[in-house]
Amino acid sequence: MSLVLVSLLPMIGLAQNPIVQTYFTADPAPMVHNGRVYVYTSHDEDETVDNFFTMYDWRCYSSADMVNWTDHGAVASLNDFVWSGKTNGAWAPQCIERNGKFYLYVPIHGDGVAVLVADSPTGPFHDPLGKRLIDGENIWHDIDPTVMIDDDGQAYLYWGNPVLSYVKLNEDMISYDRSIGKNGIVGIEMTPEAFGSQEGRDGKKRASYTEGPWIYKRDKLYYLIYAAAGIPEYIAYSTSPTAEGPWTYQGFIMERADHLAFTNHAGVVDFKNNSYFFYHDQALSEGQGFKRSVSVEQFEYNADGTIPLILPTKE
């Protein structure tokens, strides 16, 4: 990335897409706290190693007006996990607040889903467990955690590629109820009715869900937004009357566009009476899929709660 751009914009991004123009960022996860929206991102390094995702830390940006953005820097990194041997793989994060503590759920690709805790949204974060959070059987696929706290206080953590699983987090947010599912992990049935349809290599129909889930509740409806249909990815969504399903496929939210990357990854939030759809593209690197850039679109829900098709704008 151009050093000129970095030095021109040391702290503030501009109210245009991509919203972060000083680093390559991806996998945006917005969180509203105290009148600001915080956006946690993964970070594509300027130098791509072995033609694959090259990602060492997680960054945070915040804004009170969706126009002026403060860069809080790299708030966490792979170095925070001394038990993990990984030097690459800081993939898609999400942060949530509970009882004054901030829990940052992250995948370390190849080492599974882990959690960090802080007293402020921007850290310093520390590792409360000294090991991964999720005892999955296929930690290679244990990526992209998304978290919500339901109205009754029950917290859910979903994750996974190419299938979805969830755990019911205990109130401490760093352990989970082991009495359900398989040692606490509940697998979601991945049907085309629930998650859209695509044709597998064997010619059979299978769910189009791929990765990057984002779960939240709005009014009485639960939404699961995700990247679908493999490469290139589209953003689609499903809804459910409960946090545990059954999910019903609702359709695409963001289709392909030339400046989008082969991956996409969404985060949705309501902030100051507007709804925002965060995602990533490859506009800043002018077409390099391992050097992505976080962008955002404002949108309005339809009267029945469905989400309209959202166009990825360049500005």
Residue 193 is given by DSSP the state H
Residues ≥6 apart with Cβ < 8 Å to 254: 234, 235, 260, 264, 266, 277, 279, 309, 310, 311, 312
Q: Which of 57, 111, 211, 281 is catalytic?
A: 211
Query: In the set 43, 72, 168, 265, which binds ligand FUB (CB under 6 A)?
Result: 265
Q: Which of residues 89-118 bind ligand FUB (CB under 6 A)?
A: 91-92
- The CB-of-146 to ligand FUB minimum distance in angstroms stands at 10
Q: Which of residues 8-37 bind ligand FUB (CB under 6 A)?
A: 26-27
Nearer to ligand FUB, 34 or 161 (CB): 161
Query: In the set 57, 80, 144, 281, which binds ligand FUB (CB under 6 A)?
Result: 144
- x-or-dash string of contact with ligand FUB, 184-223, rule CB under 6 A: ---------------------------xx-----------
- The CB-of-91 to ligand FUB minimum distance in angstroms stands at 4
Q: In the chain, which ranges are continuous DSSP H helix?
A: 3-8, 192-195
Rounded Cα gap, residues 70 and 61, in angstroms: 5
Rounded Cα gap, residues 84 and 190, in angstroms: 30
Nearer to ligand FUB, 145 or 184 (CB): 145
Using the structure block, give the residue that is written with the tokens 């998304």: 146
- The CB-of-180 to ligand FUB minimum distance in angstroms stands at 26
Rounded Cα gap, residues 283 and 279, in angstroms: 12
Instruction: Please provide residue 151's backbone torsions phi and psi, each rounded to the nearest 5 degrees.
Output: -60, -30
Query: In the set 263, 282, 285, 295, which binds ligand FUB (CB under 6 A)?
Result: 263
Nearer to ligand FUB, 127 or 144 (CB): 144
Instruction: For residue 42, state whether it binds ligand FUB (rule: CB under 6 A).
Output: yes
CA distances from 10 to 2, 3, 59, 151 (A): 13, 11, 14, 40
- The CB-of-213 to ligand FUB minimum distance in angstroms stands at 9
Q: For residue 161, give both structure tokens.
A: 């590629």
Nearer to ligand FUB, 91 or 102 (CB): 91
211 is catalytic: yes
- The CB-of-225 to ligand FUB minimum distance in angstroms stands at 12
CA distances from 138 to 6, 110, 129, 142, 236 (A): 39, 9, 20, 7, 25
Nearer to ligand FUB, 252 or 301 (CB): 252
Rounded Cα gap, residues 106 and 80, in angstroms: 11
Query: In the set 38, 40, 53, 249, which binds ligand FUB (CB under 6 A)?
Result: 53
Rounded Cα gap, residues 73 and 220, in angstroms: 36
Where in the sequence numbering do the catalytic residues fall?
46, 211
> What is the contact surface with ligand FUB in residues (CB under 6 A)?
26-27, 42, 53, 91-92, 143-144, 211-212, 227, 263, 265
